[in-house]
């Protein structure tokens, strides 16, 4: 997948635990773990907005694009 989730980096910068972020965003820790490891097919804008609000960042700071990698069907 050419989209890389760099949520772990932002969590470390903000010194925030994944458990706390999951609680603030309102998703399960399991789903947040899947998101952090890039094992999801997509992120809802509403979820992305809540993550950005909690981490005080922009979507570009937690998502990256890696050219060359083929998108999954």
Give the pair of three-digit tokens for residue 58.
């922009």
Nearer to another protein, 50 or 67 (CB): 50
Query: Residues 41-44: contacts with CB within 8 Å, 24+ apart?
Result: 41/72
Q: Does 43 bind another protein (CB under 8 A)?
A: yes
- Alpha carbon 66 to chain centroid, angstroms: 16
Secondary structure class of 3 (helix, strand, coil): strand
Which position among 16, 34, 57, 63 is part of the footprint of another protein (CB under 8 A)? 34
# chain residues binding another protein, by CB under 8 A: 12
- In the complex, the residues that contact another protein under the rule CB under 8 A are 27, 31-32, 34-35, 39-44, 47
């Amino acid at each position: 997948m050419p989209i890389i989730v760099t949520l772990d980096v932002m969590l470390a910068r903000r010194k925030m635990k994944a458990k706390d972020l999951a609680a603030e965003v309102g998703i399960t820790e399991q789903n947040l773990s899947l998101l952090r490891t890039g094992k999801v097919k997509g992120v809802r804008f509403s979820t992305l907005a809540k993550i950005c609000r909690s981490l005080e960042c922009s979507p570009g700071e937690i998502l990256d694009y890696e050219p060359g990698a083929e998108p999954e069907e």
